[in-house]
Amino acid sequence: MTTGHDEDAETEAASGDTARYRASVPDMDCASCASKVERSVREEAGVESVDPRPTTGTLVVEYDPGTTTADAIRGRVDAAGYDVAETTTETFAVPSMDCSSCAGTVESALSRIEGVLDYDARPASGRVAVTYAPERATRGDVVAGIENAGYDVVESEDESPSAWRSRRALKTGLGAVLLVAGIAVEYLGLPNPVVAGVLGRSLTLDWVLYVLAAAVAGQSILRNGWYSVRARSLDIDFLMSAGVVGAVAVDLPFEAATLAVLFSISELLERYSMDRARTSMSELMDLSPDTATVRREDEEETVPVDSVAVGDRVVVRPGERIPVDGVVRDGRSAVDESPITGESVPVDVDSGDEVYAGSIVEEGYLEVETTAPAAESTLAKVVDLVADAERDKSERERFIDRFASYYTPVVVALALVTALGPPLVVGAPLETWFTRGLTLLVVACPCAFVISTPVSVVSGITSAARNGVLIKGGDRLEAMGDVTAIALDKTGTITTGELGVTDVVALNGRDEDDVLRCAAALERRSEHPIAAAIVAAADDRDLPDRDVTDFQSITGEGVRANLDGTTHYAGKPGLFADLGFDLEHAHVEADGGVVVDPATCEHGAYLDLVNDVVPRLQGAGKTVVLVGTEERLEGVVAVADTVRPEAERTVARLRELGIDRIAMVTGDNERTAHAIASQVGIDEVHADLLPEEKVAVVREMTETAESEAEARLPWNRGGGGVAMVGDGVNDAPALATATVGVAMGAAGTDTAIETADVALMGDDLTRLPYLVDLARRANRVIETNVWSSLGVKAALAAAAPFGLVSVVHAVVIGDMGMSLAVTGNAMRLANVSPEDEE
C-alpha cells in the first residue's frame, strides 16, 4: 500500500487537450455558495466547465492546460472567499478485486463517501487509488467503504492467500462435492428418500444436496450480489445471484447448484490468472531492498530504507542491492544496472559515479552518498508510473467500456424476455425457457472482453519496465503500436553525443602514436571539446606526456606551444597553409585507415590533403586537426561525434518492422547530418533546425502519417502517427508535438521520466525496435482478445434462446474459458525481449 503526498487538489487528464481539477471546498455547502464559486471560477480564461457540488463540498473544473493552471483556478476559489482543503492520495491493495465488475462495485461504494474526491479502481493490478480530504473523511472511512462493498483491503499482498487456499476455494470444493453427490443420487440409482416436507412439498435427498451445493458454493456470489443491489450496480455478481436465487425459486435446484459451483470455479480461475499477471509487477516492486546499512559516526547500522536521509552514507557489499540513488564516495565495483536500464552487461563504477536503487553490486565494496529519499529514487518513480499505467485508458479500452455499458442491459433484457415471454404468451414450459433465460443471463457478463485490454496493458508495460523501457500508460502503448513513422535526433540518439578520435593520418615519417602524443600535448591546456577528445584518445593509449612551454591560443585557428623545446602547431588546415606548407603534397608511409590511394613521386608516396584527405573526412562529418612544427607537417587527426554501434542495425530492424519513413531531425549542419545519416541508412534528413523548426517537421510527419493511415483504413481514425526520439530535454518541444515522445538515456533524469511518453532508461538504441515490436504485439493481442471474446459471447447469445447451449456451456466457455484465454494470451507479452532484437 502506498500513500501520496498532501496537496490542495487532484489534477488529472480528462480527454484530448482538457484537464480536470478536483478540489474539496468544505464551506461551499449551499446553492448560493456554489453559485458564487462557479461565477468566480468562470472568470478565469481557459475554464471550459464548472461543476460545484455543495452536497459533498466538491468542485470539479475542466480547463485547457495550455491557457490556465490548477493554481490559477484555486486562486479564483480563494477570491470567492472559500478555502480549498488539503487532500491526500492513497493507494490501497485489494487483491480480490480482479475484474471490471468488481472495480465498478468498489467505485460505486467510494462515490457515496463524503470527502472522497476521486477514485480509480485498477483490477489488473488489484489496487484502488483514492483521493480524499482528511478534514471530511479518514483513511478508515475509505477502507470501510471498500470492505463494505465486499472486498478486503490488505496492508501487503503477501497477506492475501492464493486463490486455491482461500475460504472461497474451500467452500467451492465442498459445493462441488455436494453437487456430485446430488447427481449420483438422482442419476445413478442411489437411494433418494424424502428428507423433509415444506408447504406440502416433499424434499428429496437430491434436491437438498443441490440446494446445499448452491448455498455453500454460492455464498460469496450472493454476498457480493447483495452489495451490488445496495450499490445499484448491474454487474456479474448481481446477475449470477439473480440466476441462482431464481433457479431455486422456480424449482430448478440442479441448474442453481451447477451455476453456483461453475461460476465460483470460474472466479477462482480468474483470480489465479490475474495473480499470475500481477506477479511481474510485484517482482518489479521487490527490486529495491527494504533495509539499508548506513555508516554513521564510523559505525554501521541497519535501518529501514525509508529512513535513509539525503547525505547519508550507505554501505553495499558484493551481491547486495543498492537501496537508494546516490553517488559513489568510496570503493570500486562492477554493478548490474539491468533492473533500471535493462542492460545485461555490468558497468564499472568508481568514486564520483552515479548509481541507482535496485542495482546489484557484483564485486567489491561501495560507500554511496544518498542523493534522494527511497520514495523518490529512479526505481520508485518507475514502479509508481507502471502502477499508474491502468489510469490512462487506451482508445480500444474506452471503446470496450462504452460497448459494455450497452451490451449488458440489452442481453439482460433479452434474458428476461426469453425466460418469461414464451411461458406467459403461449404457455410454453416455464422450466425450459427459464433455463434458456438463465443461460443468457450468464452470457450477459462482459468480464472477458472488458478485462482483455487492461490485463494486456499491464502485462506489456511491466515487461517493458523490466527491460529498461518505461511506458507511461496504456494509451501510449497503443499509440506506439500504431506509429508508422519515426523522427530521430542526431546528437545523443543516433550518435553517442561524445566526441572521439576516429582517424589518425601519420605524415613525413611519423607514426600514429607520435602524431596523437604531439596533438594531445598541445591540446591538454585547452577546454574545447575537440581538445578533450584528443587528450582522451592519447590517455586511452597510455601515451607519455611531453614537456610543454610557451602555450598560446591562436584565436579561430588553433594553438601553438613548445614541445620539448621545439615549436609545434595544431589547428585548422588554413593555419598550416598560412605557415607556407604545401598541403597538396604531404609524404606518407601509411594512410592511417583513411580510404585514399596515395600518389607517388620521386621521393615516395604522398597525399593531397587539400583536395582528397581533408574533404573526405569533412564529408563524413568529421572535424580535421593538423599537427606539425614550423618546418614539417607531422599528421592529421579527425574528430567526430561517434555513431552508436547499434544505430545501423536499429534503423534496418525498424524498416523490417514496417516503419517505412525514418527521418533525422537535427540542429547540426547539412554536411555532417547527411554523413551520419548515410552511415546508418537514413535517407531523409532535416538539418540546421531550430527547436520550433523541429516541431514543424514533426507536425508535418504526423499529419502525413495519419492521413496515409486513414486512406488505408478509413474506419480507423486516429491510426498512424509519429514517434520522436530525442534526449528528453533539448528536444522537449518536438517530443511533446509527436504522437509519442521517446526520451533516450532517461535513468537519473527526472525531466525525461516525467515529460516523455516513453523513456528508454539506458543508452541502448536497440530498445527502440523492441518498443515498436512490443507495442504492435500488444495491439494485436488486445484486438484478438476483444474480438474473440465478443465473437464467443455473440455466438452463445444467439444460440441460447434456441436451447443449443446450456448454463454449463455459458459458464465454462463464455465466462471461465474466455477469461482464462484472454489472460493467458496477454501473458505472452512477457516473452517479448530485447534479446530478440539483438
Catalytic: which of 489, 641, 764, 815? 489
For 401, counting Cβ atoms within 10 Å of its Cβ (0-12 exposed, 13-18 middle, 19+ buried), the class is: middle
CB atoms within 10 A of CB 409: 12
**DSSP character string of 597-657:** PPEEETTEEEE-IIIIIHHHHHHTT-EEEEEEESS-EEEEEEEEEEEPTTHHHHHHHHHHT
DSSP 24: E
The pair phi, psi for residue 489, each rounded to 5°, is: -70, 155
Residue type, 464: A
Q: Give the C-alpha separation, 615 to 607, whole Å.
A: 12
For 219, counting Cβ atoms within 10 Å of its Cβ (0-12 exposed, 13-18 middle, 19+ buried), the class is: middle
| Maximum distance among all Cα pairs of the chain, rounded to whole angstroms | 128
Residue 663 · residue 684 · CB < 8 Å: yes
Q: Give the C-alpha separation, 611 to 94, whole Å.
A: 73
Which of 482, 445, 485 minimizes the C-alpha distance to 228? 445
Question: Which cell numbers in the block locate residue 662?
Answer: 525514418
Which of 260, 254, 258, 269 minimizes the C-alpha distance to 242? 260
DSSP 309: P
Residue type, 145: G
Which of 121, 731, 157, 583 minimizes the C-alpha distance to 390? 121
Q: Give the C-alpha separation, 28 to 37, whole Å.
A: 8
Q: Give the C-alpha separation, 295 to 285, whole Å.
A: 26
Query: What's the Cα-to-Cα distance from 387 to each of 128, 583, 759, rounded to whole Å?
Result: 10, 64, 16
Residue type, 365: Y
Q: Give the C-alpha separation, 336 to 535, whole Å.
A: 30
- In the chain, what are the helix, strand and coil shares in percent, each to the nearest 5? 50, 25, 30
Question: Per DSSP, what are the bridge partners of residue 62?
Answer: 20, 49
Question: At a CB cut-off of 8 Å and minimum separation 6, what does 808 contact?
Answer: 258, 262
- Element housing 23 (H / E): strand 18-24
Q: Please give the radius of gyration of the chain, using alpha carbons only, rounded to the nearest integer.
A: 35
Q: Which residue has the cell 471498500?
A: 146
CB atoms within 10 A of CB 292: 27
Q: Give the C-alpha separation, 188 to 386, whole Å.
A: 55
Q: Could you write out the three-class secondary structure of 402-419? A: HHHHHHHHHHHHHHHHHH
| Known catalytic residue at 489 | yes
- Element housing 142 (H / E): helix 139-148
Dihedral, 414, 416, 420, 421 alpha carbons, nearest 10: -30
Residue 139 · residue 90 · CB < 8 Å: yes
Q: Render the burial of 516-540: b for 16+ CB within 10 Å, e for the rest.
A: bbbbbbbbbebeeebbbbbbebbee
Q: Give the C-alpha separation, 721 to 779, whole Å.
A: 15
Q: Which residues are catalytic?
A: 489
